[in-house]
Amino acid sequence: MSGSTVPIGGIHHVTAIAADPQRNLDFYAGALGLRLVKRTVNFDDPGTYHLYYGDGAGSPGSILTFFPYVGAHQGRHGVGQAAETRFAVPKSSVGHWVERLMRHHVTADGPAPRFGDGAPVLSFRDPDGLMLELVGLDEPGGGAVGWDGAPVPAEHAIRRILGVSLWLESYDRSAALLTGPMGFRAVAEEGDRHRYAGPGAAEVELRCAPGFWPGAMGAGTVHHVAFRVPDLAAEEAARVTLAREAGLDVTPVLDRQYFRSVYFREPGGVLFEIATDPPGFAADEPAEALGLSLKLPAWLEPRRETIERRLPELHAPVRR
């Protein structure tokens, strides 16, 4: 690999699979207090929702998205997958979260310190078994937390996605990709866990589990991890660097309506995406109305009636 670095600015979003859309909405927009910032469909399968959650403004870096397939079979956690997704919260808010999760009947482990850096971690799972962590940080980063009707007081709200951990058969080639073209650096190592810090205060942890069974996609598993770039020119540059210099099989740039994307599998088998910050989630509805109605891309608008009839109804979660 030569010395070019992709101009990554941190995590853009994480996309996972769920079974029941209402249960998914109740958990993320209810218990976790994220904002539903986009209600749309899987563009490749418009019979299924694509739900986007994030901070008050739907800022890149705060976004967790789901394909909730009604009756989806359960996935299996294993190697070649992103496993835990970590959110940054203010360290002083961890007590609030212990109490809030309990009140929402979410069983959490912790708060326990990780890697000896003093940051308290609460570990729990969503209703489909997706592994999540809230990490209390003195400087959690992120922004735009408040909006009208936010269920969690702004000072305690989830700020952003801090990072993910990948479960891998072996980590050296994935580590070389991160510390080479992706601009991360090794910061800590503990047993089989290797932690890397990257641009935008993002963290990726590689967990080496040789001989562990391979992961299988399904409800409760991460589908892919997206990293952000500032614009289309950076996206094109990233594509060239990753394909030509790192020898990865990278897709052409795809229009994802709220960002432009390329996809590739990192050497350990995890699907990565590079997504642009623009145009963002206010591209097709006003910022104050994010997530309130079903948005479709222009090419699916002619089929709106059929699509709406097939999708299950969704109700805003009860606020508590």
In the complex, the residues that contact Zn ion under the rule CB under 5 A are 15, 226, 273
Min dist. Cβ of residue 306 to Zn ion (A)? 25
Q: Contact 276/259 with Cβ under 8 angstroms?
A: yes
Instruction: Compare residues 175 and 275 and give the one whose CB is closer to Zn ion.
Output: 275
Min dist. Cβ of residue 232 to Zn ion (A)? 16
Min dist. Cβ of residue 259 to Zn ion (A)? 8
Reported in sequence order, the residue ranges of the chain that DSSP labels E, i.e. its strands, are 11-18, 35-42, 45-54, 63-68, 81-90, 109-113, 120-125, 131-137, 160-168, 185-190, 193-198, 202-208, 222-229, 254-255, 260-265, 271-276
Min dist. Cβ of residue 226 to Zn ion (A)? 4
Instruction: Round to whole Å and give the CA distance between 84 and 163.
Output: 8
User: What does the DSSP 8-state code read for residue 153?
Assistant: -
Instruction: Compare residues 26 and 273 and give the one whose CB is closer to Zn ion.
Output: 273
Min dist. Cβ of residue 264 to Zn ion (A)? 12
Identify the burial level of 160 via C-beta atoms within 10 angstroms of its C-beta, where 0-12 means exposed, 13-18 middle and 19 or more buried.
buried
Instruction: Compare residues 60 and 80 and give the one whose CB is closer to Zn ion.
Output: 60
Measured at the alpha carbon of residue 30, what is the angle toward residues 27 and 32, in degrees to the nearest 5? 70
Instruction: Round to whole Å and give the CA distance between 89 and 133.
Output: 10
Instruction: Compare residues 15 and 174 and give the one whose CB is closer to Zn ion.
Output: 15
**What Å distances lie between residue 149 and 24, 57, 320, CA to CA?**
19, 13, 11
Instruction: Compare residues 97 and 264 and give the one whose CB is closer to Zn ion.
Output: 264
Q: Reduced to 3 states, what is the DSSP secondary structure of residue 292?
A: coil
Instruction: Compare residues 57 and 226 and give the one whose CB is closer to Zn ion.
Output: 226
Min dist. Cβ of residue 274 to Zn ion (A)? 10
Instruction: Compare residues 273 and 277 and give the one whose CB is closer to Zn ion.
Output: 273
- Closest by CA to 64, choosing from 105, 11, 124, 9, is 11
What values do phi and psi take at 30, rounded to 5?
-95, -85
Q: Reduced to 3 states, what is the DSSP secondary structure of residue 233?
A: helix
Q: Contact 12/61 with Cβ under 8 angstroms?
A: yes
Min dist. Cβ of residue 281 to Zn ion (A)? 13
